[in-house]
Amino acid sequence: MRRFSPTTLAAIVTLALTATVGGTFYLNADEVQAKRRPWPKATPPPPPSPIYLASTEVAPDETEIEAEARTHNRRIALVLERALLSGGNEDREAAFTFLMPELLQIEPKLVVDLFDAQEPGEARDVLRTELARQWISRDPDAAVAWMKSLEGRERRASAAAAVRTIGPVEPQRAIAIARELGIADDPYLERIRP
């Protein structure tokens, strides 16, 4: 049997007790009711300055605010059209992400009018697809009514975009819309059938 010195023996016993007591304390630390110290109060704000400077910025008056409100939606539609026609992907993405949802919520007729004003081509196709995707999610009845007003290829393309948008979320509704718009033969519908 090996003999330990008293110092080594004391160190081993101390280490074992520390590990046992410390481990027990650590495991039960959340059960101990610790005295909570309140957070210090916020420093009060300084007193207001007695020095007032005239602002160089012009504040709009009531008539200017009213005029701004009247033309707000039309200006958004104009910015959306510029982004659509500029051909820049970043501009289009920003317009479709931030401006189109606002117009569809407040005045969807402006977006429909913008679509009707476009000549056949890439800009019209992109706007049609995005309009179908976003509008079917917000107001399906109005979107379906708009898609029914389209002819041939455009009707089919907008219906396909709408069905693919809501198919993963509402498969029954997507199938009903596909039937209503005449694209029940779309192969995509086979993947979403419940």
Instruction: Give the tens place of pLDDT for each residue, 41-98.
Output: 889 999 988 888 888 888 899 999 999 999 999 999 999 999 999 878 899 999 999 9
Distance CA 149, CA 128 (A): 12
As a whole number of angstroms, the distance between CA 10 and CA 59 comes to 80
Contact at 8 Å (CB) between 132 and 161?
Answer: yes
pLDDT category of residue 191 using cuts at 50, 70 and 90: confident
Reported as type and span, the H/E element at residue 66 is: helix 62-86
Query: Cα–Cα distance between 104 and 138 in angstroms, integer?
Result: 8
At 18-52, the pLDDT tens digits run 766 555 555 555 555 667 777 888 899 999 888 88
State the pLDDT at residue 41. Answer: 86
* d(C-alpha 99, C-alpha 27), whole Å: 54
